Structure 1
Amino acid sequence: MTGFSLAFRQAFAARRSCHFAPQMNKLSSHTALLWIVAVGFFMQALDTTIVNTALPSIARDLHAAPLAMQSIVVAYTLTMALFTPASGWLADRFGTRRVYFVAITLFVIGSLACASAHTLDQLVMARVLQGIGGSMLLPIGRLAILRTMTGEAYVSALAMISVAGQVGPILGPTLGGWFVQSFTWHWIFLINVPIGAVGLYAVRRFLPDDAIRNAPPFDFVGCGLLSLCMVAFSLALDSPVQTHRGLVSAALFVVAAVSAFAYIPYARRKRNPLFHLALFREPNFSVGLIGNLVCRIGSSAVPFLLPLLMQLELGYGPLHSGLMMLPIAFAGTLSKRWIAGLVKRYGYDNFLLVNTALVGASIIGFALFSPSLPLVVEIVILALFGACNSMQFAAMNSVTLKGLSIKDAGSGNSLFSMVQMLAIGLGVSIGGSLVQVFEHQFGSGAIGFRLSFLCMGVVTLLSGLVFRRLDNAPRAAAPAPAAR
């Protein structure tokens, strides 16, 4: 009897395992996909913050001025802005798995090239290669999840990925400072190699190959016009400080304006332009896009300028300055749970008006940092900036994209991503240039940093005037989780 019962149970278990095997395999495949995309997003998020605390050490090793290191950050973010629109088309044309594999490969090769650089120019070129790979990690990862999961599973998947994006900025500054202080700055790039190697194996093993045979043609001309506009505009803002010639800057501004205006008639005639002009008929998209650009220019200068201020003027070591960034990261992570209730109660317009003022005021508060300022006051200002800035990003992202139709959502999201990365580069470029201008004018680096934080805070405050033009959004609407 016992033998029969045992055999019956084994047969039943075998049949059950056969019945559920496809579902279990599918579940395992989905889990692996989520980990692959999360790792890619983690590498991208980590690399945007881990470099900042190492900039003074890199500058000493490469015999360059610390503020000249802004080109390392700008090269990476601007490259990501340029190549992000092509990521979706590349995935359609050549397959998600193939393109994602190439993206990680380029990112790892770029990281090795960064660690091997002996001059600033070499490091900038290596960062460009890194940026090409990094520009495709998150968009293609999100696309792979969208094609594999739907409904609540897709929302849950995005929530998991957003956690990876939050962990990167938390670990980045501290990890970068620890590497520099305990080893050398080269390790802030070499850490990407083992992570990338695991990602490459997982992509080959688990990611589906879903190329679309009849993928629509890519708008290379439209992409070229907008890319020329962004590059010329970024160089124009950096040119007066680097060359001391306003004529170069003026010429670059003209190039940027001509290429931007040339895109308008081109897009009207083109059947499938890179970005349809109809996107701007949605009022909140236009207002949100401009508000995002202005606000992020001010707040994006902070992660670049603060570690430099702490190490160059306050005498902090790399690890100490990295640890000082933790209140920003932790407060930003905790505040995300408040945003939905606040927007639901006060509406996007009122919330953004008040929260923008708090972000701008906290940036101006960084001008108070000095050796005599109590540590607790510094931590309060850092935490206030982290909490308000995190809620600002979530609200701005949501109000900009929520009114777009399903047809325009993909194109609008790509343009929005370009503007985000452009704003980061502009914030670093403008913030670093202002420090150099004020330092040259007053002969003091401390004054240069203080006045620069004051200016960037005012820029952020001005974005509040832009958000006043928002249509009064329904108070019941709550922002969905979105990447920074």
Structure 2
Amino acid sequence: MNSEVRDGILPAADGVTRAPAAPEIDTAKRPPYRLVAVIIACALFMEQMDATVLATALPTMARDFGVPATSLSSALTAYLLALAIFIPASGRLADRFGSKTVFRLAIAIFVGGSVLCGQATSLPFLIFARFLQGVGGAMMIPIGRLVLLRSVAKQDMVSAMSWLIIPALIGPILGPPIGGFIVTYLDWRWIFYLNIPIGILGIALVTLFIDEVRGETPVRADPVGFLLSGVSLGCLLFGFEMTSRDGELPMALALIAVGLVAGGLYLRHAKRRADPILDLSLMAVPSFRLSVIGGSLTRITQGAQPFLLPLMLQLGFGMTAAASGTITIAGAIGSLAMKSLAPRVLRRFGFRNSMIVGGLAASAGYAVCGLFRPSWPTWLIFLTLMISGFCMSFQFTAYNTIAYDEIPPERMSAATSFYATFQQLMLSLGVCAGALALHLGMLARGHSGPRLADFTLAFLIVTAISASATIWNRRFAPDAGADLSGRRRDDD
């Protein structure tokens, strides 16, 4: 029998490999999975870093453009809009044109948008360039994960995902200090120009080491679903993001309401279509459903923490932006330490037990962050953040891996688009939850500005959200993900 057919890889007449009909992957024919994971992680790191570095430079950019700093929020929301519109469509594009081709194109679009951002001389020009960046970023997020799922053997998936999750955690932590350095000692335009060499290297590495894989049967277009999902997700993302701004709560609530209405119309549309752009039938798969729900609750806390912690250190402790940014690097160090330990922990204890304990430990670590006080020694704060980063990174590695355990290859692109959509939505909701919890603490105590006690309450509220994921983690089967972790099913 032909070896390609035997291994579940179906060669087409055009020379492009179609999606495998079975989960077996002939690793002898593939590049090392660590190399594939690092290539994808670098692209995602570029996207994550850009977003957080930009936030630091907004006041300087506003001065150069001659507009109020609040006007620059349009540049941030333009990026969110592109994410909301194009993330759901990314899986279909990968199936039709090939995951390698679309991933490479996504990097090129992101870099092109970065160049235009660096050349911007007015706010409207910047908004257009940020939207273009968002188109590239929207495709990089789910397709990067799809490339990894199609390139890595099942038994290596945990280790590969532990590499992939790092940029999502490190980017928001390293962004503020790097942004502060660039704005202070260079020109803010270098924030965008730094993406050029990273992007060029990424395109070259993708060309050399990533296989081209398409869906066996490209799914037909869903323009109605595309429109409804884009309106729903865009309004929800904007609404959640605007709740953290002063004086914009009515508009935020209006956008959230529109998003919910459009979401309801999409649900009605999806029930009538066999292949909707966001396939809700994936939630019938147990491991995927539990990962989406548990991961969403956990990501709310993860989205709130980078919002609350720098504010507490600067407003409550009186630290400079540079000093608070240096301390928050501890979370990145913890994430890196997790990379090599996650596969061994999951192999020894299994997904279910590890996620229950890890989730509680991560939530406890973030709860302790709310108890930080200026009298605490810096080393103790640093150690707490490092342990919290380790535990939270472990949780996301486990969620991002177990989600695809029972997903058949032909539905993998739909699953990655669906998962990435909820991932982005929940991280944005986390900022909303953190801001709302902080305001509740201020109102309860009659404070005109946030004080340390208000931050404590806010951290405890968002921590309770991630701790509630334990309910869903307990519903995983005891042997869930045994093939992924290498744990024997009779070990339980």
TM-score (norm 2): 0.75
Q: Does the CA-based 8 Å contact 1:41-1:164 persist in structure 2?
A: yes
Q: Please state how far the C-alpha of 1:78 moved relative to its aligned partner.
A: 5.8
Look up the match of 2:281.
278
Look up the match of 2:304.
301
Look up the match of 1:459.
465
Look up the match of 1:234.
237
Render the CA deviation track for 1:397-418: whole Å, top value 9, x for unaligned: 2333323333433322221111
Look up the match of 2:383.
380
Q: Please state how far the C-alpha of 1:187 moved relative to its aligned partner.
A: 2.3
Distance in 2, matches of 1:296 and 1:341, equals 24
Query: What amino acid is aligned across from residue 397 of structure 2 in structure 1?
Result: A
RMSD of the TM alignment (CA)? 4.2
1:61-80 superposed matches below 5 A: 61-62=61-62, 76=79, 79-80=82-83
Look up the match of 2:48.
48
Query: What amino acid is aligned across from residue 472 of structure 2 in structure 1?
Result: V
Gaps of 5+ in 1: 1-26
SS in structure 1 of the partner of residue 468 of structure 2? helix
TM-score (norm 1): 0.76
Distance in 1, matches of 2:216 and 2:56, equals 49
Q: Please state how far the C-alpha of 1:389 moved relative to its aligned partner.
A: 0.3
Moved more, 276-285 or 114-123: 114-123
Query: What amino acid is aligned across from residue 449 of structure 2 in structure 1?
Result: S
Look up the match of 1:396.
399
1:128-147 superposed matches below 5 A: 128-141=131-144
Distance in 1, matches of 2:456 and 2:448, equals 13
Look up the match of 2:448.
443
Task: Flag the structure with higher helix content.
Answer: 1
SS in structure 2 of the partner of residue 109 of structure 1? helix
Q: Please state how far the C-alpha of 1:58 moved relative to its aligned partner.
A: 2.6
Report the structure number with the largest CA radius of gyration: 1
Q: Does the CA-based 8 Å contact 2:299-2:466 persist in structure 1?
A: yes
Look up the match of 1:183.
186
Query: What amino acid is aligned across from residue 464 of structure 1 in structure 2?
Result: T
The change in CA–CA distance for 1:65 and 1:463 in structure 2 (over 3 A counts) is: farther
Distance in 2, matches of 1:155 and 1:241, equals 37
Query: What amino acid is aligned across from residue 464 of structure 2 in structure 1?
Result: V
1:11-160 superposed matches below 5 A: 38-39=38-39, 41-49=41-49, 51-52=51-52, 55-59=55-59, 61-62=61-62, 76=79, 79-94=82-97, 99-116=102-119, 125-141=128-144, 151=153, 158=160
Distance in 1, matches of 2:34 and 2:169, equals 15
The change in CA–CA distance for 1:370 and 1:73 in structure 2 (over 3 A counts) is: farther
Render the CA deviation track for 1:91-141: whole Å, top value 9, x for unaligned: 444455654454233212322344455777765554332221122235445
Distance in 1, matches of 2:353 and 2:211, equals 44
Query: What amino acid is aligned across from residue 391 of structure 1 in structure 2?
Result: F
Q: Does the CA-based 8 Å contact 2:402-2:481 persist in structure 1?
A: no
Look up the match of 1:18.
none
Q: Please state how far the C-alpha of 1:382 moved relative to its aligned partner.
A: 0.5
Identity %: 28
Distance in 2, matches of 1:61 and 1:422, equals 27
Q: Does the CA-based 8 Å contact 2:48-2:168 persist in structure 1?
A: no
Distance in 2, matches of 1:346 and 1:121, equals 53
Look up the match of 1:423.
426
Q: Does the CA-based 8 Å contact 1:229-1:259 persist in structure 2?
A: yes
Q: Does the CA-based 8 Å contact 2:109-2:133 persist in structure 1?
A: yes
Q: Does the CA-based 8 Å contact 2:107-2:202 persist in structure 1?
A: yes
Look up the match of 1:470.
476
